[in-house]
């Protein structure tokens, strides 16, 4: 019955309610099902907020990112990457995913993120690389590129951080195994996470390469027109 709180989270996210409201309601429902008083539930909310008050640092970065975008950070990132002929959307995201996975494996999880890195830098670079090759894009294609950018960040972080033995997820699994009298050390779990991380990196890299080919097929006429224009300029010179 206590796990009904998980169902509340799933339903709330499915109908696209405010995530903070969904998690709060799920916590209250879980507390009542566990026969906790309202006072105890609110006390645990307060304790969790105080324990995780470092989140205020993350909140403080949002105005900074907003100012950087206001003064053209996204546009500069697009122009910079458009000058690199070998750059493609897939290659950029593969490189970022590799960097994200390696740093997460070393315990450096704050180096990236959807708000502070993907939105202002990685997604514009991926879009700029696509525009340099295929020209004008429709809004659906832009949104798809942004989705792949966010996915590369999530995949790199999620599977990379399990290699780091001091991450919360590994310690949580360690505690669960100990409660069930299963012998497993954090080092063993970290080592077994490496093959999974490698496999996921290879699989998602293939997806990104196929995404490049999908864009090339979808905008083949734009690519031919761009190549003809460039060739014409070279002839005139």
In angstroms, what CA-CA distances link 115 with 110, 112, 182, 190? 11, 8, 39, 28
pLDDT at 151 over 80: yes
Rounded Cα distance between 225 and 213, Å, is: 17
Report the pLDDT value the prediction gives residue 62, as an integer from 0 to 100.
62
Q: What is the pLDDT of residues 165-180, one digit of tens each?
A: 877 777 777 787 888 8
Q: What is the pLDDT of residues 34-73, one digit of tens each?
A: 888 888 888 877 776 655 544 554 555 566 666 666 767 6
- Averaged confidence pLDDT in the chain: 80
Are 205 and 97 contacting, i.e. CB atoms less than 8 angstroms apart? Answer: yes
Report the pLDDT value the prediction gives residue 236, as an integer from 0 to 100.
37
Report the pLDDT value the prediction gives residue 6, as an integer from 0 to 100.
80
Rounded Cα distance between 207 and 73, Å, is: 28
* pTM, rounded to two decimals: 0.67
Report the pLDDT value the prediction gives residue 150, as an integer from 0 to 100.
94
Write the CB contacts of 132 (distance below 8 Å, at least 6 apart in sequence). Answer: 81, 82, 83, 85, 87
Q: Which two tokens stand for residue 122?
A: 């990685």
Rounded Cα distance between 108 and 69, Å, is: 25
Nearest one of 193, 224, 209 to 148, comparing CA atoms: 209
Instruction: Please compute the mean of the pLDDT values over residues 121-147 and round it to a whole number.
Output: 88
Nearest one of 222, 18, 190 to 104, comparing CA atoms: 190
Taking each helix axis from N to C end, the angle separating 19-33 and 4-14, rounded to the nearest 10 degrees, works out to 160
DSSP state of 162: G
């Amino acid at each position: 019955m206590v796990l009904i709180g998980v169902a509340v989270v799933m339903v709330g996210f499915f109908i696209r309610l405010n995530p903070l409201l969904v998690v709060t309601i799920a916590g209250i429902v879980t507390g009542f099902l566990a026969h906790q008083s309202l006072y105890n539930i609110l006390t645990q909310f307060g304790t969790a907020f105080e324990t995780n008050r470092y989140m205020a640092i993350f909140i403080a970065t949002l105005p900074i990112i907003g100012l950087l975008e206001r003064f053209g950070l996204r546009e500069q990132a697009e122009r910079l990457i458009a000058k690199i002929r070998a750059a493609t959307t897939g290659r950029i995201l593969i490189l970022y995913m590799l960097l994200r996975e390696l740093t997460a494996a070393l315990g450096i999880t704050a180096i990236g993120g959807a708000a502070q890195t993907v939105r202002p830098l990685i997604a514009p670079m991926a879009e700029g690389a696509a525009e340099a090759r295929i020209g004008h894009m429709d809004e659906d294609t832009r949104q798809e590129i942004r989705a792949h950018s966010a996915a590369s960040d999530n995949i790199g972080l999620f599977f990379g951080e399990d290699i780091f033995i001091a991450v919360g997820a590994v310690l949580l699994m360690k505690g669960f195994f100990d409660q069930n009298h299963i012998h497993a050390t954090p080092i063993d779990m970290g080592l077994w996470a490496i093959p999974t991380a490698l496999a996921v990196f290879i699989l998602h890299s293939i997806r990104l390469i196929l995404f490049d080919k999908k864009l090339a097929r979808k905008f083949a006429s734009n690519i031919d027109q761009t190549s003809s224009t460039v060739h014409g300029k070279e002839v005139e010179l």
